[in-house]
Chain A
Amino acid sequence: MFDYTFQWNQALARLPRMLDGAVVTLEVAVLSMLIGIVFAMILTLMRLSDSRPLKAIAATWIEIARNTPALLQIYMAHFGVASFGIHFSPFTSLLIGITFNNAGYLAENFRGALKAIPDTQARAGRSLGMSSLQSFRYIIVPQMLRISFLPMTNQMVWAVLMTSLGVTVGMNTDLYGVTQDLNALTFRTFELFAIAAVIFYIITKIITLGARLIASRLFRY
Chain B
Amino acid sequence: MFETSLTAADFLFLAKGAGMTIIVTAISVVIGTILGILFGVIRVQLGAILSAPLTFFLDIFRSVPLLIQLVLANAFLGMVLKLQLSGFFVACMVLSLYTSAYCAEIVRGGIDAVPATTRRAARSLGMTWVQDMRHIVMPLATRVALPSWIGLALGVMKDSALVYVVQVTELLKSTQILITRLQEPLFLLLICGAFYFIISFPLARFGGYLEKRWSND
Contacts and interface: CB of A to CB of B under 8 A. Distances in A.
Q: Do they bind each other?
A: yes
A205 B80 CA distance: 28
A200 interface: yes
B31 to A, nearest CB: 21
A84 B186 CA distance: 9
Nearest to B199: A67
B75 A190 contact: yes
Nearest to A67: B200
A67 B205 CA distance: 10
A193 B71 contact: yes
Q: Interface extent on B, as a size class?
A: 35 or more
Nearest to B66: A161
B80 A80 contact: no
A165 B179 CA distance: 18
Nearest to B179: A79
A75 interface: yes
Nearest to A66: B204
Interface in B134-155: 154
A38 interface: no
A164 B68 contact: yes
B197 A68 contact: yes
A71 B172 contact: yes
B27 interface: no
B10 interface: no
Contacts of A66: 200, 204
A68 B200 contact: yes
B65 A164 contact: yes
A80 B186 contact: yes
Contact of B201 (A67, A83, A201): A67
B62 to A, nearest CB: 8
Contact of A76 (B71, B193, B200): B193
Contacts of A81: 186
A69 interface: yes
Contacts of B64: 161, 197, 200-201
Contacts of A69: 158-159, 161, 172, 196
A57 to B, nearest CB: 16
B72 A70 contact: no
A68 B158 contact: yes
A81 B185 CA distance: 9
B192 interface: yes
Interface string A165-188: 101000000001001000000000
Given A79-B179, A200-B63, A200-B65, A64 B72 contact: no
Contacts of A213: none
Given A68-B196, A76-B193, A1 B67 contact: no
Given A66-B204, A67-B197, A196-B68, A72 B75 contact: no
10 interchain residue pairs of minimum CB distance? A164-B65, A79-B185, A67-B200, A83-B186, A69-B158, A69-B161, A204-B63, A190-B75, A189-B75, A4-B80
19 contacts: A3-B82, A4-B80, A4-B81, A63-B197, A63-B201, A64-B193, A69-B161, A71-B172, A76-B189, A79-B189, A80-B185, A161-B63, A161-B66, A176-B67, A179-B68, A189-B79, A190-B75, A197-B72, A204-B63
